[in-house]
Amino acid sequence: MDYPKIVKMIPVEKRGAISEKLLNYVLKSKKEKKLTSGMAQCFLLQWQTSTFDNEVGLAVLLETAAVLELEKTTEFLEQECQLAEVAKALKETIA
Amino acid sequence: MVKFGIEFVPKEAYWKTVYYAVQSEKRGFDNLWITDHYNNRNVYVTLAATAIYTKKIIFGPGVTNPYLVNPVMTAQSLASLDEMAPGRVVLGMGAGDKTTLASTGIEAKKQLSAVVDAITIFKAMLDGKSVTYEGKVFQVKGTKFNFKPRGQIPVYIGAQGPKMLATAGKIGDGVLINASHPKDIDYAVGQIKMGVNEAGKNLADIDVTAYTSFSVHKKPEKATKAASPVVAFIVAGSPNVILERHGIDLDKANEIRGALKKGDFGGAFGSVSPDMIEAFSIAGTPDVCIQKITRLLKAGITQFVVGSPIGPNARKSIDLISEQVIPHFKE
Predicted confidence (pLDDT) per residue in B75-113, tens digit: 999 999 999 999 999 999 999 988 889 889 999 999 999
Is B19 at the interface with chain A, CB within 8 A? yes
Residue A27, CA distances (Å) to A37, B121, B236 in order: 16, 39, 30
| pLDDT range class, residue B237, cuts 50, 70, 90 | confident
Name, in order, each residue with C-beta under 8 angstroms of A24's C-beta and a sequence gap of 6 or more. B313, B315
B45 Cα to chain A: minimum distance (Å):
14
Measuring CA to CA, how many Å separate B85 from each of A50, B78, B79? 21, 10, 10
**Per-residue pLDDT reduced to its tens digit, B191-200:** 999 999 999 9
Alpha helices in B218-285 (DSSP H): 220-237, 240-245, 250-262, 265-270, 274-280
CB atoms within 10 A of CB B144: 15
pLDDT at B180: 95
Residue of B nearest to A40 (CA): B15
Residue B205 DSSP one-character state? G
CB-CB under 8 Å, B53 with A23: no
* Closest-approach residue (CA) in chain A for B25: A48
CATH architecture of B3-330: Alpha-Beta Barrel (3.20)
As a three-state string, the secondary structure of chain A is CCHHHHHHCCCHHHHHHHHHHHHHHHHHCCCHHHCCHHHHHHHHHHHHHCCCCCHHHHHHHHHHHHHHCHHHHHHHHHHHCCCHHHHHHHHHHHC
Q: Which of A22, A41, A42, A48 best tests the B interface by mutation, with the highest count of B CBs <10 A?
A: A48
Q: Average pLDDT of B256-284?
A: 94
Characterize the bridge pairing of strands B303-310 and B282-284: unpaired
Residue B5, helix vs strand vs coil: strand
Do residues B77 and B146 lie in contact, with contact meaning Cβ atoms separated by under 8 Å? no
Region B176-180 average pLDDT: 95
Q: Would you call A56 an interface residue with chain B, using a CB distance cutoff of 8 Å?
A: no
Could you tell me which residues are beta bridge partners of residue B219? none
**What's the number of CA atoms in the CB half-sphere (13 Å) around residue B203?**
15
pLDDT at B12 over 90: yes
Looking at the partner chain, which of B14, B22, B315 has a beta carbon nearest the beta carbon of A27? B315
Going by C-alpha positions, the residue among A57, A48, A13, A17 that lies closest to residue B49 is A48
- State the 10-residue block means of pLDDT for chain A, 95 residues long: 95 96 98 97 98 96 98 98 97 92
Cβ of B19 within 8 Å of Cβ of A32? The answer is no
Q: Judge whether B201 and B150 are in contact, CB under 8 Å.
A: no
Strands B131-134 vs B139-143: parallel, antiparallel or unpaired: antiparallel
Axis-axis angle for helices B220-237, B250-262 (nearest 10): 90
Q: How far apart are the first and last CA of chain B?
A: 10
Identify any residues that bridge with B155 across adjacent strands, giving them in sequence order: B91
Q: How far is B146 from chain A (nearest CA, A)?
A: 31
Chain A CB contacts of B16 below 8 Å: 27, 32
- Decide: helix, strand or coil at residue B211: strand
Q: What ipTM score was computed for the predicted complex, to two decimals?
A: 0.97
Give the closest-approach CA distance of B306 to chain A in angstroms: 19
Q: In which band, very low, low, confident or very high, does the pLDDT at B217 lie, cut at 50, 70 and 90? A: very high
Where are chain B's structural domains? 3-330
Q: Is the pLDDT of residue B331 over 80?
A: no
Q: Do B54 and A40 touch (CB under 8 A)?
A: no
